[in-house]
């Protein structure tokens, strides 16, 4: 684990109460191995999830004043999902500063999406507890604003191809998991998109959902409907 001052530089915030930051970066696996059982980040994660949700909803509500509730919900889900939080955590090298148990160290816990996403939320709560909602909002918006345009450009290829195929009611689309590999912290999935009995697209990703999107994207490219 690196010195916490380095992490404070990463997040552009210096804590008055350093214990809050230390707790946010402490995983339960570490705490359970220590005789004094120090606090770990699950309670902060709980609070941070709520703070993140409120700030994100407020940001989207005012950034997209003409969008309906359903579209705002979709945007929020994309921005606060585990994949996004994992990406945010990697930007600030959060894994380098975590306190993990020996088992998690051996199994590459510093790179595990679920651990880093949870810790990212815990850091939000730590800032909130140390300095209040406005400082927590500044921290969160740093990431939301940087990823807003990526979110805008993200297409739902599964819906797009469904709309193409459903013009013929006799046709049936099915996503089939063809292959799964890698350790738990770095799974890779290969999914085939079947149109009736024919494979019309194949996709690979870190989650089944991502692999399905890639399979649909490939199918649309082969149809000449996407680049």
Q: List pLDDT tens digits, range 44-101.
A: 999 999 999 999 999 999 999 988 888 888 888 889 988 889 999 999 999 999 999 9
Closest of 146, 138, 173 to residue 157, by C-alpha: 173
Residue 198 clears pLDDT 80, i.e. is over it: yes
Q: What does DSSP say about strands 198-205 and 173-181: parallel, antiparallel, or unpaired? A: unpaired
Contact 204, 214 (CB under 8 A): yes
Check residue 67 and give its pLDDT.
Answer: 87
Over residues 101-126, the mean pLDDT reads 93
Check residue 208 and give its pLDDT.
Answer: 87
Query: Containing H/E element for 146?
Result: helix 133-153
Residue 153 clears pLDDT 70, i.e. is over it: no
CA distance 218 to 157: 9
Residue 184 clears pLDDT 90, i.e. is over it: no
Average pLDDT, the chain: 90
Q: Which of 45, 49, 118, 130 is catalytic?
A: 49
For the full predicted model, state whether its pTM sits above 0.75.
no
Q: Which of 45, 118, 121, 218 is catalytic?
A: 121
Over residues 178-202, the mean pLDDT reads 89
DSSP 8-state class, residue 64? -
CA distance 85 to 106: 23
Core vs surface per residue 140-173: b (16+ CB within 10 A) or e: beebbeebbeeeeeeeebbebbeebbeeeeeeeb
CA distance 170 to 175: 17
Contact 25, 98 (CB under 8 A): yes
Closest of 6, 148, 142 to residue 76, by C-alpha: 148
Residue 226: active-site member: no
Give the pLDDT confidence of 31-52 residue by residue, as tens digits.
999 999 999 999 999 999 999 9
Check residue 120 and give its pLDDT.
Answer: 98
Cα distances (angstroms) measured from residue 10 to each of 7, 14, 15, 90, 147 = 5, 10, 13, 11, 18
CA distance 31 to 23: 10
Contact 204, 182 (CB under 8 A): no
Residue 121: active-site member: yes
The sheet with strand 198-205 has its strands ordered as 173-181, 188-195, 198-205
């Amino acid at each position: 684990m690196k010195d916490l001052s380095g992490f404070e530089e990463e997040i552009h915030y210096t804590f008055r109460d350093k214990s809050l930051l230390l707790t946010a970066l402490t995983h339960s696996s570490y705490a359970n191995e220590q005789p004094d059982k120090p606090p770990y980040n699950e309670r902060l994660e709980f609070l941070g999830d709520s703070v993140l949700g409120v700030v994100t909803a407020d940001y989207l509500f005012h950034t997209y004043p003409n969008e309906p509730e359903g579209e705002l919900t979709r945007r929020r889900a994309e921005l606060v999902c585990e994949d996004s939080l994992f990406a945010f955590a990697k930007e600030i090298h959060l894994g380098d500063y975590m306190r993990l148990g020996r088992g998690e160290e051996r199994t590459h816990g510093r790179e595990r999406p679920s651990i880093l996403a949870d810790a990212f939320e815990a850091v939000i709560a730590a800032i909130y507890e140390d300095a209040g909602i406005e400082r927590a909002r500044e921290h969160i918006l740093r990431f939301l604003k940087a990823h807003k345009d990526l979110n805008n450009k993200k297409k739902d290829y599964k819906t797009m191809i469904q709309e193409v195929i459903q013009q013929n009611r006799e046709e049936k689309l099915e996503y089939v998991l063809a292959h799964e590999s890698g350790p738990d912290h770095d799974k890779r999935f290969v999914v085939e998109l079947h149109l009736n009995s024919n494979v019309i697209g194949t996709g690979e990703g870190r989650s089944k959902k991502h692999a399905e999107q890639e399979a649909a994207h490939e199918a649309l490219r082969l149809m000449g409907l996407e680049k």
